[in-house]
Amino acid sequence: MINRSLVFLLLLVSQVSWAQVRVVTELTDNWKFKKGKNEQAYKVNFNDKGWQKVTVPHDWAIYGPFDKEVDKQVVAIEQNGEKVPSEKTGRTGALPYIGEAWYRNEFTLPNYKKGQKVLIVFEGAMSEPKVFLNGQKVGEWAYGYSYFYFDITNQVQEGKQNTLAVHLSNQGQSSRWYPGAGLYRKVQVIVKNPESIDQWGTFVTTPYISADLAKVNVKTKVAGKNVRMVTQVLDAKGNTVATDSIGKLFGNQFEQNLAVANPQLWSPETPYLYTAVTKLFAGNVLKDEVTTRFGIREISYKPTVGFSLNGKVRKFKGVCLHHDLGPLGAAVNKAALRRQLQILKDMGCDAIRSSHNMPSIEQLELADEMGFMFLAESFDEWAKPKVKNGYNRFFEEYAEKDIVNLVHATRNHPSIVMWSSGNEVPDQWGAEGVKRAKLLQDIFHREDPTRPVTVGMDQVKATMASGFGALLDIPGLNYRVHLYEEAYKAFPQGFILGSETASTVSSRGIYKFPVEKAVEKQYPDFQSSSYDLEYCSWSNLPDDDFVLQDDKPWVIGEFVWTGFDYLGEPTPYDDKWPSRSSYFGINDLAGLPKDRFYLYRSRWNIKEETLHILPHWNWEGREGQTTPVFVYTNYDSAELFVNGKSMGIQKKHAGTPQNRYRLMWMDVKYEPGTVKVVAFGKDGKPVAEREVKTAGKPHKIVLQPDRTEISADGKDLSFVTVSVVDKDGNLCPTATNQLSFNVKGKGNYRAACNGDPTSLEQFHLPTMKLFSGKLVVLVQSTDQVGDIELSVKGKGLQTGQVKLKATR
């Protein structure tokens, strides 16, 4: 049977005049930066010779130094139930993000011809950007997390150098965590014809899906009359699987329906992606072309049933993530994002909540490719403030514009399965808050009718009384496990989402005695115990959420606070110096897994074995004292041995939530040597074992890169885990040696991080102390192909070396 659409397309293509279509230029290099007011810096002939040369994305504040006086806030944190104000020194990371700064770039557009249209697109600028081109102001925005663009057609010059200047201003008391500073996401210039597809003007949905056929609906907004649109759908191998041509405009929009036979469905397990190639013609002249990746998938939220993806009921195994990338700060780096997602994938995580702001495009691209469902969040504040200079200042003027840009810029990502219009907003109280919740939800529905909307609610009683929670598509509860049953009965939706859960605190490799549940527990070293039994007054332990996920079919999943530690919010030490980063992470700030990683992995990663022992076994001075041993495993029972002597068999059972999900030997007495665990299968036979040994003195530095081959693009990174071991190769878990780093060849030393939330060492300097025997070094490529060598030295230690390669 002849495909008439394809025949038409081939005939059309054979007659096409291949005119210049859009050219997208990313402004990465040639930037100059200066912190300070510099009122004349937007002018074309301004002298910027002494300014710092930087590449974008760029975060000016991550280089430090850490300083307790930066954004020192005397405040009572209402979300934490505080009534009396106290001094908070590390709340926003103690890094110098406050102040004004300028970025300048000079560029030419060799393909630009007078009469074409030119846009400049920012995917995030922290914050309150004002944009100038060739001495003229072209626009401004307010929200540092928003994507936005300006039409610069009237300011750009043909055949000449163009001077771009961007002014940024970060105020104190504008954030509750480290926000970063600068042009921390991409900047692009787009040159296109007057007859063209609108910016973010393509919307691809899949309204009908069966095993045999999927209907792909493509709506495309365009500029121009007497134009025709041709769309091809390509499979993952680049084969054309559907085509359509249309010449009838409805207002300024084309709408096409394409049939894809035997569709491959997108899911976290099978993240299959199609591509829509959309071409705009005037007569036989190609005027514009846009490529859109999308997935064919169906989402559903129903009472009693819960959440379904492609017809299969499932629960979200999700984490919340702030936008900073540890030692890189807020500056987006795709290699760093990919590493985060690989770590989460190994844990069995299948969903991410962008907390509490709009995600980067790179993060969404990776979520599409690697298979993560996404809860894309917009705001941490509405009209009522949490911090004096937060988003409340902009809400009335900008909220709708920010939501429209969020939806338009990201709606084609199949990973996004719901929107969030807010997190723990003080507007949860009262009638005005209900009106705002409905207003924002209606905007999301207008711009994207295919996805539901939630809000992370912490004032659950108030939202039950006011109707706030009842009007949401998805009622999201932040903590409040004791109110789940009551909320389920009160709300009409028929299900509850754990939009933010756990907030258990721990420091990697740090263990405190006695081992007991504790709320807001503090210690002289400002660390939290990695026995995973400490939490906040408003939160709970992981096991409490596990019970709800397993026993309540109407609980549709959870998003744990947080997947990784982040800069700022050092609860429970937010009034103690030098704490400057969080303790909530399942992984630390360096991306190294804490013990809690294996607790979640034992439940979430059902395909692979988990058998993890804690604590370490170096306890000089604790001989004969009670030192409990926990095992996190996906097996139901195991036997513990200390130096060959059995400590008995433990089985998971329905006593406390901890007994249900952890194996715990509470009465073990410490003696140096070997701790071994033997796990049993369901038939009672041994199936796996692990050992932890008492390590001797630090002897040797061991390096383990996450990748030995990276791209020679000047951006790619290898994350090298640095460990110190004894002469027998055992990790020295209490080592705190000062190490130094040197990179030779076609790479550079970029940063290091040890995961210690109290460390004041600057990430970009080539030296750092170990924390609990480990740290991570980031090696960055140059734009040249060749060998790279990292060497790590420490006094009295055998040097560690590793060879990497930069390739095209």
Instruction: Report DSSP state, residue 605.
Output: -
The answer to whether 362 is a known catalytic residue is no
Instruction: Report DSSP state, residue 670.
Output: P
Do residues 340 and 334 touch, judged by C-beta distance below 8 A? no
Do residues 101 and 41 touch, judged by C-beta distance below 8 A? no
Residue type, 788: I
Residues 6+ apart with CB under 8 A from 527: 507, 510, 512, 583, 757, 758
Q: In 3D, which of 710, 740, 709, 708 has the Cα closest to residue 722? A: 740
Residues 6+ apart with CB under 8 A from 312: none
The answer to whether 424 is a known catalytic residue is yes
Question: Tokens in use for 103?
Answer: 């970025």
Place of tokens 């309204």: 207
Instruction: Report DSSP state, residue 433.
Output: H
Question: Tokens in use for 367?
Answer: 């979520």
Burial 320-338 (b: 16+ CB within 10 A, else e): bbbbbbbbbbbbbbbbbbb
**DSSP secondary structure of 35-52:** ES--TTTTSTT---TTSE
Provide the CB-side half-sphere exposure for 459 (13 A, CA): 20
Residues 6+ apart with CB under 8 A from 234: 240, 241, 274, 275, 276, 277
Helix (H) or strand (E) holding 369: helix 361-370
Q: Which of 195, 362, 447, 500 is catalytic?
A: 500
Do residues 642 and 601 touch, judged by C-beta distance below 8 A? no
Q: Which of 424, 447, 534, 558 is catalytic?
A: 424
Question: Tokens in use for 309?
Answer: 């993806």
Phi, psi for residue 101 in degrees, rounded to 5: -155, 160
d(CA 774, CA 71) in angstroms, rounded, equals: 30
d(CA 649, CA 629) in angstroms, rounded, equals: 12
Q: Is 620 helix (H, G, I), strand (E, B) or coil?
A: coil
Helices in 247-360 by DSSP H: which ranges?
Answer: 334-347
Question: Tokens in use for 793?
Answer: 């030295």
Catalytic machinery residues: 424, 500
